[in-house]
Amino acid sequence: MIITRETDYAVRILRSLINLRLKNIREISDEQLIPRQFAYKISKKMERAGYIEIIRGAQGGCRLVKNLHDITLMDLIQVMDRENMLSNCLDEGFVCPYRERNGGDCGLHTSFGQLQEQLTAYFSGVNLYDLVSGTCQNQKLK
Distance (Å, whole) CA 18 – CA 66: 10
pLDDT class of 104 with cuts at 50, 70, 90: confident
Q: Domains in the chain, please, with CATH?
A: 5-133 (1.10.10.10)
CA dihedral 3, 7, 8, 13 (to 10 degrees): -160
pLDDT tens per residue, range 62-103: 999 999 999 999 999 999 976 667 777 777 778 888 888 888
- Pairing relation of β-strands 61-64 and 52-55? antiparallel
For residue 112, pLDDT over 90 is answered with no
Comparing 9 with 99, which gets the higher pLDDT? 9
pTM of structure: 0.84
User: What is the Cα–Cα distance from 39 to 135, expressed in whole angstroms?
Assistant: 25
